[in-house]
Chains A and B, each alone.
Chain A
Amino acid sequence: MGATTRNLTIAFFVLLVFGAVSPMLFTDAKFPQWLEVILGGVMSGVLYSLVALGLVLIFKASGVFNFAQGAMVLFAALTLVRLMEKMPFVVALVVTIVVMVALAWLVERLVLRPLVNQEGIVLFMATLGIAYFLDGLGQTLWGSDIYTLHVGMPKEPKILLEGTFEGGILVNMEDAIAAVLAGVMVAVLALFFQKTGTGRALRAVADDHQAAQSIGIPLNRIWVIVWSVSGLVALVAGVIWGSKLGVQFSLQLVALKALPVVILGGFTSIPGAIIGGLIIGLGEKVSEVYLGPLLGGGIENWFAYVLALVFLLFRPEGLFGERHIDRV
């Protein structure tokens, strides 16, 4: 099986690169404009990766698909934006972090602890409950209006490389900063998971609760850690998306885009979440701009889901997921 799946993966990436480059080869697209599309795709891709990362973290450490990730993004952003009305940004940020950690602790204490050693589907249903609860709680505490979030990111697009190309490349600075921020976050988390004893313990918990307990991994503490980390990831995602779109209910739907990302990258893989996000960000931008006119537009809205569907058909474990062989 090793060789065929590897070939399929390689074929997929070749196809991907070909798809990205083809506008330059077969149409009369201008290079700077093409580069702008690619950059735009990469930058929104990094943001998808960030939300997807929150999902992957919890999935790795508890084998649960966390339906509440979107609600956590919204809740974090709402908390931050309303606190900023009363205190300076840095203080509000610290308080929000404390709130997210407290939330993780409560989730562990009230929801996960009574459900130790239960089936994945039971835990999934529990996260559904958490999602609706957070929804209601956020709106009760902070109201349901649309709030604008200013965290000091430059809103003005910049024109780069004016000397090299005619007209230069238009880059949205806000997106660029967000992309760098998300990139750093992703790198730190990847190191944490792959190289540290705690990371190993997290992965152990994901694979088997009982066995993890038997080698002395304190399940409860691990869950608090992982929900805190994914709360922080949700906060970063909430800040970035919130300052782009305004803090509002639809932030939740951003998490919906993270679902095809993790299907593509594999539920258990941090690099998968990153690359999956980039592929989807890139793919939907390129196909919107260059295929859109041929197909009547709107590709950006369905591209990710169709790609995920194809993956579910042919490679359900995703590009980098762990393949489980079930013995009969």
Chain B
Amino acid sequence: MKLNDAQAGLAAAERRIGEVILAVEGISLAFGGVRALNDVSFDVREHEVRAIIGPNGAGKSSMLNVLNGVYRPQAGRITFAGETVAAMEPHHSAARGIARTFQSLALFKGMSVLENMLAGRNLMMKTNIFLQALRVGPALAEEIAHRKRVEEIIDFLEIQHVRKTPVGRLPYGLQKRVDLGRALAAEPKVLLLDEPMAGMNVEEKQDMCRFILDVNDEFGTTIVLIEHDMGVVMDLSDRVVVLDYGKKIADGTPDEVRSNQAVVDAYLGVKH
């Protein structure tokens, strides 16, 4: 009996990290003469926390924007859930299950927390627009179901007390949570987080770390994360990609990356 439990536990731990769900190959992106990304390849496995790090201007956000479909790379391929394309389109990537948060907040400031999150589920609303307007029949049932799911996420992120407040009036730390919540509301397979801890104090950072790990554990969401805080990255992530001047210079577990000479040089500078 005990053996079975132990085996099951082991199996679960192994199952936690699954097959490759998202992969990029040879991605190159240039803005005029500036090469933001140069032949970058890496993969992301199901259920893992994958970090992209690098000094300022290394191309981290550009990479995220490529995954999300905001930028179209000039070369390379993106494979997501078995489908290979040359470039993503923003609303198609959302429809296939990629959600994201933003480095500098991009919330719907005039809407309440609740509405922001409901907007995150926009793609899932199927009923006829006329029924929606009148709130009758299946549209009412649908609205209630969506509302229920959103309330669960609000509880999860501990922002019940501000659910009706216009987002523009919330303090920064809470806005960051709403941003995460809106992405979660879409029930994504892969969640892209662009510097989720930027500008936060220690306490807020700890909360955000906890939320990210819980999302990964409880919802089984795959997470791709950009972060500057090295401590955070090393604690949170399963594997790390390091970019410098648009090129991949290292890829591996946090320990491997930490002891990589190229990474140390990139961060601390090197004598020529």
A residues lining the B interface (CB < 8 Å): 191-192, 195-198, 200-201, 203-204, 206-208, 210-219, 268, 322, 324-325, 327
A-B residue pair count with CB separations less than 8 angstroms: 100
- Min C-beta distance of B182 to chain A, whole Å: 7
B115 touches A200 (CB 8 A): yes
Decide yes or no whether B245 CB sits under 8 A from chain A.
no
B119 touches A196 (CB 8 A): no
Decide yes or no whether B70 CB sits under 8 A from chain A.
yes
Chain B CB count within 10 A is highest, among A203, A204, A322, for A204
A208 touches B107 (CB 8 A): yes
B110: nearest chain-A partner, CB-CB: A322
Once A210-B102, A213-B90 are accepted as A-B contacts, the answer to whether A204 and B122 lie under 8 Å apart by CB is: yes
B182: nearest chain-A partner, CB-CB: A215
Contact check: which of B106, B110, B118, B133 meets A211 at CB < 8 Å? B106
Residues of A within 8 Å of B129, CB to CB, are 192, 196-198
Once A203-B108, A204-B108, A216-B94 are accepted as A-B contacts, the answer to whether A325 and B99 lie under 8 Å apart by CB is: no
A191 touches B91 (CB 8 A): no
A325 touches B91 (CB 8 A): no
A191 touches B133 (CB 8 A): yes
Residues of A within 8 Å of B183, CB to CB, are 214-215
The 9 A-B residue pairs with the shortest CB-CB distance, nearest first, are: A216-B94, A213-B90, A211-B106, A207-B108, A197-B125, A322-B110, A196-B132, A216-B123, A191-B133
Once A197-B129, A324-B109 are accepted as A-B contacts, the answer to whether A215 and B119 lie under 8 Å apart by CB is: yes
- Min C-beta distance of A232 to chain B, whole Å: 16
Decide yes or no whether B15 CB sits under 8 A from chain A.
no
Decide yes or no whether B111 CB sits under 8 A from chain A.
yes
CA distance A56 to B38 in the complex (A): 44
A197 touches B107 (CB 8 A): no
**Pairs across A and B, CB under 8 Å, 26 listed:** A191-B133, A191-B134, A195-B134, A197-B125, A197-B129, A197-B132, A200-B119, A201-B122, A203-B108, A207-B110, A207-B111, A208-B109, A210-B106, A211-B182, A212-B108, A214-B183, A215-B94, A216-B91, A216-B123, A217-B119, A217-B122, A219-B90, A322-B109, A322-B168, A324-B168, A327-B172
Once A207-B109, A208-B108, A325-B168 are accepted as A-B contacts, the answer to whether A213 and B182 lie under 8 Å apart by CB is: no
Sample of 15 more A-B contacts, CB < 8 Å, known A201-B122, A215-B186, A322-B109 = A191-B134, A195-B132, A195-B134, A197-B132, A200-B111, A203-B110, A203-B119, A204-B122, A208-B109, A214-B106, A215-B94, A215-B99, A215-B182, A216-B122, A217-B122
- Min C-beta distance of A112 to chain B, whole Å: 15
Docked complex: B60-93 residues within 8 A CB-CB of A: 68-70, 90-91
A213 touches B169 (CB 8 A): no
A322: nearest chain-B partner, CB-CB: B110
A197 touches B90 (CB 8 A): no
CA distance A268 to B110 in the complex (A): 9
Chain A CB count within 10 A is highest, among B69, B132, B134, B135, for B132
A203 touches B111 (CB 8 A): yes
Decide yes or no whether B100 CB sits under 8 A from chain A.
yes
Residues of B within 8 Å of A218, CB to CB, are 91
B residues lining the A interface (CB < 8 Å): 68-70, 90-91, 94-95, 99-100, 102, 106-111, 115, 118-120, 122-123, 125, 129, 132-135, 166, 168-169, 172, 182-183, 186
Once A196-B132, A210-B70, A324-B168 are accepted as A-B contacts, the answer to whether A204 and B91 lie under 8 Å apart by CB is: no
A201 touches B108 (CB 8 A): no
B94 touches A208 (CB 8 A): no
A205: nearest chain-B partner, CB-CB: B108
Once A197-B129, A198-B129 are accepted as A-B contacts, the answer to whether A211 and B122 lie under 8 Å apart by CB is: no
- Min C-beta distance of B139 to chain A, whole Å: 9
B111 touches A204 (CB 8 A): yes
Residues of B within 8 Å of A325, CB to CB, are 168-169
CA distance A208 to B186 in the complex (A): 17
CA distance A232 to B133 in the complex (A): 19
A322 touches B166 (CB 8 A): yes
